[in-house]
Structure 1
Amino acid sequence: MSLDRPVTPDPYELLPAVPSFGVTSADVADGQPLKEDQVYSAGNTSPQLSWEPGPEGTQSYVVTCFDPDAPTPSGFWHWVVVDIPADVTSLDTGAGAGDDSLPGGAFHVRNDFSTRDFAGAAPPEGDQVHRYYFVVHAVKEAELGVDGDASPAVVSFNLAFKTLGRGIVMGTYQH
């Protein structure tokens, strides 16, 4: 079976426009291949992320990592952290190891591996280059209104109505 298919569009360009803010990483260079540490079969370690404060009214943040290039109609969610306090503007390398590594009342929602942590890049062998969108969503409420059993799709649905701004850094990987 061939996995040849068109490149999917940038999923965030398909959402309603919101203000953007800067996101940087000591571990992910925008548009460049991920380090082995961020690969599922290697280090499986979440990258360091820093961001500018969100727009006025930001009460919390959600951080996600999404691969729109997975050979599924819905892409693949690698990391979902909700309810990061508004005064936090960075996550350390490895913060995705579990809820104990997160600030304040932040917690993980299960990813598409069905675990509540960061799951690194894991594209099928020989597939096209995959893009990994590390996104910081500025949220207008202190709590998104989901729990750890929510799916990434439910988190995204809630974000559609509660996002004030969004910052993105994107890495790539091919196996």
Structure 2
Amino acid sequence: MRLVSNSWVDGDRIPARFAAGRRDGQGVGFSDNLSPHLAWSEIPQGTQSFALICHDFDVPSRGDDVNKADREVPEDLPRVDFFHWVMVDLPATLRSLAEGEFSRGFTARGKSGPATLHGARHGLNDYTGWFAGDKDMGGQYFGYDGPFPPFNDSLVHHYVFTLYALNVARAPVEGAFTGAQVRQAIYPHVLAEATYSGTYTLNPRLIG
């Protein structure tokens, strides 16, 4: 199976319009947060649906130094996954997602879900946990919300979009499911998978 995009070149820096955060005159702020174009081909026989996950595997495991102007997040700090997009039940006949089709702008308290376009279902992304307890931003964040890495991180972050071809029409998850739950639930049903990636940073030292 093959996954492509015309939003940026595989492995290159993700344009700011697809990110949740960008640098501005005041430092950093919210960006256009457009969901990217994705298209796929070479589908295995027996595919009944697709699942899509986007995750960043460079997220600091501790927040002590995050977004502090007087220091950087250490490069050797252990890193964890942060899920930016979780979607299941994309129909087997579908072959592409248009740029901006699932997200245009950042929605305080999160986009609605789980029901979404094409009869698919969105899971929660990890901004749900990031904003938990925030009186203005706290809520359930369904669907796509793009990169907004710490502005002082010493590492450039990597974002991986993974499309899975499944042998079931409905993924075995219910309710407000997470990326980790989808990974575990679909594992026995994966016929093939393909990835497309990009990088992003808000650290002026790394932008160059």
TM-score tier, shorter chain, comes to 0.7 to 0.9
The answer to whether 1:132 aligns with 2:159 is yes
Cα deviation code 1:122-151 (max 9, x no counterpart):
111132111110111111100002134112
Rounded Cα–Cα distance in structure 2 between residues aligned with 1:126 and 1:74: 17
The answer to whether 1:143 aligns with 2:170 is yes
TM-score (structure 2 length as normaliser): 0.70
SS of structure 1 residue aligned to 2:163: strand
Unaligned runs of 5+ residues in structure 2 are: 22-30, 62-78, 104-110, 129-140, 203-208
Spell out the pairing of 1:74-93 with structure 2 (5 A cutoff): 74-93=80-99
1:162 is matched by which residue type in structure 2?
H
Rounded Cα–Cα distance in structure 1 between residues aligned with 2:8 and 2:142: 21
* 8 Å contact from structure 2 (residues 172, 186) kept in 1: no
Unaligned runs of 5+ residues in structure 1 are: 1-20
Spell out the pairing of 1:19-98 with structure 2 (5 A cutoff): 21-41=1-21, 42-72=31-61, 74-97=80-103
The equivalent residue for 1:109 is: 123
1:173 is matched by which residue type in structure 2?
Y
Rounded Cα–Cα distance in structure 1 between residues aligned with 2:35 and 2:201: 18
Q: How many residues align?
A: 154
Rounded Cα–Cα distance in structure 2 between residues aligned with 1:69 and 1:148: 28
Rounded Cα–Cα distance in structure 2 between residues aligned with 1:147 and 1:38: 28
Q: CA deviation at 1:83?
A: 0.2
Larger Rg: 2
The equivalent residue for 2:149 is: 123
Rounded Cα–Cα distance in structure 2 between residues aligned with 1:116 and 1:53: 29
* 8 Å contact from structure 1 (residues 109, 147) kept in 2: no
TM-score (structure 1 length as normaliser): 0.82
State percent identity of aligned pairs.
34
Cα deviation code 1:99-131 (max 9, x no counterpart):
67621x102111101201211101111321111
* 8 Å contact from structure 1 (residues 53, 89) kept in 2: no
Q: CA deviation at 1:173?
A: 0.4
Rounded Cα–Cα distance in structure 1 between residues aligned with 2:181 and 2:97: 23
RMSD: 1.6
Rounded Cα–Cα distance in structure 2 between residues aligned with 1:120 and 1:106: 19
